[in-house]
Structure formats: C-alpha cells, structure tokens
C-alpha cells in the first residue's frame, strides 16, 4: 500500500482501524522520538511522583552522552512534533495558544509550527469528488486543475471552473484528506494516554490540565473534518461584512458542498506576509495595519463571532481594482463566539487597563462570576497592578494587548479564576493580529487604534444611546402587547375564584404585572429625560 510521506512517518489513507500491533509500534516510535530530542529531560526538570525512578532515569541520561541536546528545550520540542507528523504538528499549534498554561519560550516556539504536508494524489482527489457527487467530475466542473494549490494535514485545495449553466465562475475546491479520520482517532487515543500519564507522574501536571487540552484539541480537529460546518462559518462571516470596504470573504456554492468537499469563490490577492510586494503594488501599508485592528474589534464586539485562525497563510490582500487594499480571509475551520457578557467583560477590562484602573479590573472579574464572590478586591487589585504596571513604563505603541490579556489570565489563576475557553481562543487571535499589524507597521499604536472603537461600543451599551437602542429593539413586542392591555386588565379585575387554577388567566395576570412595571419604567425614563432637557 502506498502511503503519504510526512517527515520520516508514513500515513496510510485507507487504514480503517489500527491494529493493536500497529498502535504499539506507533507508541514505541513516539517514545523513541521523544528520547532522541531529549523530551524526557523536559519532564524531569520538574518534580515527579515516581519514588526512586527519576534518579534511575537521570543516571541513564548521563550514560547516553551521545545525544545532542544543545538546542533550547522549546526548539527540541518543536522539532520532535514535526518529526511525529501532521496531527502532532496541529496539536503543537493548539498548545501554542495555551499561553495561560505553558512557559512563554515554549509557546512562542510552537507558534512557528506550519501545518503543511505533501499533497495526496490527484487521482485520490478526483475519486473523493466523484464519491461525494455521485457523478464524474467533468459533469460538475468545466475545468478542474489536477495540481493542488495548497495542502495541509486535514485537506487540500484545487482550483476549478463551474459550467456555464452554473454561472461559469472560478472556484476553489477544498477536499478532505482520504482516510484521515482513523489516523486522527489513532493519534488522539495515544495523546489521551500520554495526558493521563503526565497527570499521574508529574506533580505540576494536574495544574496544566493535559487531558482537558487533548479533549479541546479533539473537538476542534473534528470540527475541521466537517466542511459543511466550515462553509457555514464562511457564510456567516461573509454576511457580517457584506458591503464592508475592509474585509471580503468568498461566496460559498452550497449546491456543491458536502461534509468532505467545500466549493467557494476563488479569491485573487497577495499574501499578507509579502509586505514588499504589497508596497510595490501601491497598497497603503499603515492603513492596512489599522484596518486589521478594526476588523478584529468589529468581529469581537459588534458580531461576537470571529475568525480564530488568522495566521499569515490565511490572510490575503486585494492589490487590483476598486477594492484595492481590502483584506481577504480564508480557512474557516475554527471560529470563536462571544456572548454579550463576554463582550462586556472584555470591553470593561480593556478600558480599565487603558485608564490604569486596576480596582475596576478586579471588580469586573468578580461581577462576571469568574472570580469567587469571597475574593478580596484589594488583594486582587494589588496582584493585577504588580503584573500590569510595568507595561506602562513604555510608550503605548510598544504595549501588547495580547500580552496584557495573557498576564491577566496567569494572575487570575492565583485567585481560582477559571479562564474561559472562548477567551483563550480570543487571546490567541489577538496575538496573531498584533503580530500581523506590527509586521506591517512597526509604529502601529494598537491601543490608540482600538480605544475609539471600544469607547464607541461602550457608549452603545450604556447611557441614553443604549436606552434608545433597547427601546427600538423591544418596540415590536410593545406594539403587540399594548393594544391588549385593556382586555388583560379587565379579565384580571373581573376574574372570580375557581376550584381549579386557571393557568391562562395566571399567565395573563403575570403579563399585566409585567406591563405595569414596564409602564412605570417608561414614565420614569420620560420624566428623567424631560428634567434633563430642562436643566440642560
């Protein structure tokens, strides 16, 4: 059977269920790679709960003097994951986002991992398409390019052209890697065993929650295996930015999408990392950097729905035509969502940091319920001040919002604050945005760029503008309830006691009470507005 070579590992696309001998062989290989790169010494730097065994292992390490462990520990860990294959590379990428758990040197090094593997054959790609559509490829596409333009561990992309009857448009066809599911299940099972072992033998392992990290990885990886979910994410982001002059997203061709195939509009642009090429084509680089920040905060605070995999390979820029200078986003397998509570928490934290109001930061944590109610505000405030005050000894343009958020997460753990998964994803995305922005414009002042947007958003949540928006939002409900008010009041006043409870009447009475309260609120607000206008 012909496999796909990845480093020194072979991935066979048609393995249905790994046999026990194969799993044992794979486990031995993982142990061998870990030992060759000195990952055992990485663990032995910490206290193990194995009695005298650490001393035995350390003695064996001294005997194995032929190993070259001169490279930093983080570099050796990255190289080991690359040697183990694409699933472990993706796991390393996830670990790089957990900066609330990992040392910074390891997190920074793992962020360098690139999810790029050799493509699978064009014959397999065409076979997958014919399996998905139940017809020959030439009946679906007028032209299909056999050579892929991009290849990753989960899928690869080919360019194609639809038939004239379907619009004749250029499209990009994303095809799931054949047989990838059993490979993933196999390696996930091994990671789960390793995580359990780590929690058992490493005193600090329980704090790092390795089993929870593997479970999170398992969830996101299975999300990426459903291309219908990715297509829906793309469609939602496109709808959110319809008519925007900052960001454009490909149109999804739903008629040709399945769980294993996604067909979308082909986008033309230059990769964001090719800064010199962008300059040569006349793109305003400082404006591009500021636009990236605005796009991020728009996704977070306006929509509560954000692209969570914004590394340079997924971001392009339009360099021709009327939309020159617009961003193009690709690859929507991972998105983040935020509730109104999350958005309010983040906005208040950012603004409090900007004004160096550490007491408010502590209060927001307790009010949101993420810090225990019995947390002493003064102690929490002092801890936050000791972490964050050093940031303000530098110019604002040198302050990293992502780093501030990271340090906040790390400090919060001392007060038994559980960091929310959606905020970890947000913090990772914010670090990506900052890296892109400062690569484009080293003088980018992220805080000054973000502050006006945050203040506008907060003004829309509080004060008279917020009241006006809420009234508009509830107006349709009031229009339905107010005409029925006399009838409901009459029924409530004339009702007599009955042997059995009248559930409908009780419901109507509750509505009357609610409307009465609502009318008092409206009258109070109107009176307040009148007084405010007179005094003004």
Length, in residues, of the chain: 536
State how far the alpha carbon of 325 is from the alpha carbons of 179, 310, 317, 332, in Å.
40, 17, 6, 21
Sign of the torsion formed by the C-alpha atoms of 53, 54, 55 and 59: positive
> Kind of pairing, strands 247-248 and 327-329?
parallel
State how far the alpha carbon of 92 is from the alpha carbons of 30, 87, 434, in Å.
15, 9, 21
**Residue whose C-alpha is closest to residue 156's, from 172, 134, 169:** 172
State the Cα–Cα distance between residues 174 and 56, nearest whole angstrom: 51
* DSSP codes joined into one string, 3-54: -EEETTEEE-TT-SS--HHHHHHHHHHHHHHHHHTTHHHHHHTS-BSSTTHH
* DSSP codes joined into one string, 305-322: EEES---GGGEEE--SST
Q: Cα 528 to chain center, whole Å?
A: 43
* Adjacent-strand bridge partners of 11: 4
**Tokens 């349709």 found at:** 476
User: Pick the catalytic residue: 83, 309, 342, 441?
Assistant: 309
Helix pair 285-297, 446-461: axis angle to 10 deg: 30
State how far the alpha carbon of 264 is from the alpha carbons of 119, 161, 252, 253, 425, in Å.
20, 11, 4, 5, 26
Instruction: Report whether 411 contacts 436 (CB < 8 A).
Output: no
Instruction: Report whether 270 contacts 277 (CB < 8 A).
Output: yes
**Tokens 């040197």 found at:** 105
The 3-state DSSP class for residue 368 equals: coil
**Residue whose C-alpha is closest to residue 318's, from 237, 262, 244, 239:** 244
* Adjacent-strand bridge partners of 327: 247, 317
Instruction: Report whether 511 contacts 482 (CB < 8 A).
Output: no
Residue 21 in tokens: 């001998």
Q: What are phi and psi of 77, to 5 degrees?
A: -65, -45
pLDDT computed for residue 50 by the predictor:
47
pLDDT computed for residue 469 by the predictor:
64
The answer, as to whether pTM is greater than 0.75, is: no
State the Cα–Cα distance between residues 368 and 362, nearest whole angstrom: 10
Sign of the torsion formed by the C-alpha atoms of 505, 510, 513 and 517: negative
**Residue whose C-alpha is closest to residue 407's, from 388, 433, 393:** 388
Instruction: Find the angle CA(371)-CA(375)-CA(381) to the nearest 5 degrees.
Output: 90
Residue 190 in tokens: 């091994």
* DSSP codes joined into one string, 155-221: EEEEEEEE-GGGT--EEEEEEEPTTHHHHHHHHHHHHHHHHHHHHHHBTTHHHH-HHHHHHHHHHHH
pLDDT computed for residue 129 by the predictor:
95
Q: How many CB atoms lie within 10 A of CB 160?
A: 20
**Tokens 């999408």 found at:** 257
Instruction: Report whether 110 contacts 98 (CB < 8 A).
Output: no
Instruction: Find the angle CA(28)-CA(33)-CA(34) to the nearest 5 degrees.
Output: 95
pLDDT, tens digit only, all 536 positions of the chain: 333 333 333 333 333 344 555 567 777 777 788 778 877 666 655 544 444 445 555 555 555 555 667 788 888 888 888 888 777 887 887 777 666 567 777 877 887 776 667 888 999 999 999 999 999 999 999 999 999 998 888 899 999 999 998 889 999 999 999 988 888 888 888 888 877 877 776 655 665 677 877 887 788 888 888 999 999 999 999 999 998 989 999 999 999 999 999 999 999 999 988 889 999 999 999 899 888 888 988 898 888 899 988 777 789 999 988 889 999 999 898 888 888 778 877 777 777 877 788 888 888 878 777 777 888 888 888 988 887 777 666 655 666 666 676 677 667 777 777 666 667 777 777 777 777 777 788 777 776 777 777 777 777 666 566 666 666 666 666 666 667 777 777 777 776 544 445 545 455 455 555 555 555 544 454 545 444 444 44
Give, as one character, the DSSP assignment of residue 268: -
**Tokens 């934290």 found at:** 349
**Tokens 């090719």 found at:** 274
> Kind of pairing, strands 247-248 and 305-307?
unpaired
Element (H or E) spanning 142, and its range? Answer: strand 141-144
**Residue whose C-alpha is closest to residue 375's, from 415, 413, 419, 414:** 415
**Tokens 């790994």 found at:** 18
Q: What are phi and psi of 262, to 5 degrees?
A: -125, 130
Asked about 309 being catalytic, the answer comes back as yes
């Amino acid at each position: 059977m012909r496999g796909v070579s990845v480093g020194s590992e072979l991935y066979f696309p048609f393995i249905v269920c790994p046999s026990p001998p194969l799993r044992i062989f794979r486990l031995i290989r993982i142990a061998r790679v870990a030992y060759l790169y000195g990952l055992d010494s990485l663990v032995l730097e910490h206290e193990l709960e194995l009695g005298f065994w650490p001393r035995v292992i350390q003695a064996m390490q001294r005997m194995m003097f032929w190993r070259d462990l001169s490279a930093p520990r983080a570099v050796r860990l990255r190289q080991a994951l690359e040697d183990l294959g694409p699933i472990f590379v993706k796991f390393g990428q996830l670990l790089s986002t957990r900066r609330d758990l990992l040392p910074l040197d390891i997190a920074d090094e793992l962020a360098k991992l690139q999810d790029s593997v050799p493509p699978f054959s064009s014959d397999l790609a065409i076979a997958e398409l014919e399996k998905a559509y139940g017809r020959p490829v030439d009946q679906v596409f007028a032209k299909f390019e056999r050579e892929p333009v991009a290849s990753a561990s989960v899928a690869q992309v080919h360019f194609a052209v639809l038939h004239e009857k379907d619009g004749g448009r250029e499209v990009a066809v994303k095809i799931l890697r054949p047989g990838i599911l059993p490979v993933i299940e196999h390696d996930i099972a091994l990671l789960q065993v390793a995580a359990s072992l780590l929690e058992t033998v490493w005193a600090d392992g329980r704090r790092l929650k390795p089993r929870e990290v593997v479970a999170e990885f398992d969830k996101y990886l299975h999300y990426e295996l459903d291309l219908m979910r990715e297509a829906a994410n793309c469609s939602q982001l496109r709808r959110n930015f319809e008519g925007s002059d900052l960001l454009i997203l490909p149109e999804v061709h739903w008629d040709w999408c399945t769980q294993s195939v996604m067909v979308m509009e082909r986008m033309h642009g230059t990769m964001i990392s090719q800064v010199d090429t962008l300059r040569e084509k006349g793109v305003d680089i400082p404006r591009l950097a500021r636009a990236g920040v605005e796009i991020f905060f728009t996704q977070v605070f306006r929509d509560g729905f954000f692209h969570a995999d914004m590394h340079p390979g997924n971001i392009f820029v339009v360099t021709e035509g009327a939309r020159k200078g617009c961003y193009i986003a690709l690859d929507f397998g991972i998105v983040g969502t935020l509730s109104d509570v999350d958005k309010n928490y983040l906005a208040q934290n950012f603004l409090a940091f900007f004004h160096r109001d550490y007491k408010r930061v502590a209060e927001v944590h307790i009010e949101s319920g993420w810090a225990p109610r019995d947390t002493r505000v003064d102690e929490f405030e002092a801890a936050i001040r000791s972490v964050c005050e050093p940031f303000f000894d530098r110019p604002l343009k040198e302050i990293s919002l992502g780093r501030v958020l990271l340090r906040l997460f790390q400090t919060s753990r001392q007060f038994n604050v559980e960091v929310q998964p959606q905020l970890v994803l947000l913090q990772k995305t914010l670090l990506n945005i900052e890296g892109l922005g400062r690569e484009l414009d080293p003088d980018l002042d992220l805080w000054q760029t973000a502050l006006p947007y945050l203040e506008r958003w907060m003004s829309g949540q509080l004060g008279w503008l917020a009241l006006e928006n809420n009234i508009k939002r509830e107006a349709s409900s009031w229009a339905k309830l107010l005409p029925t008010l006399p009838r409901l009041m009459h029924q409530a006043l004339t009702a007599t006691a009955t042997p059995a409870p009248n559930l409908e009447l009780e419901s109507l009475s509750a509505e009357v009470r609610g409307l009465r309260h609502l009318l008092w609120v409206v009258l109070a607000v109107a009176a307040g507005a009148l007084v405010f206008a007179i005094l003004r």
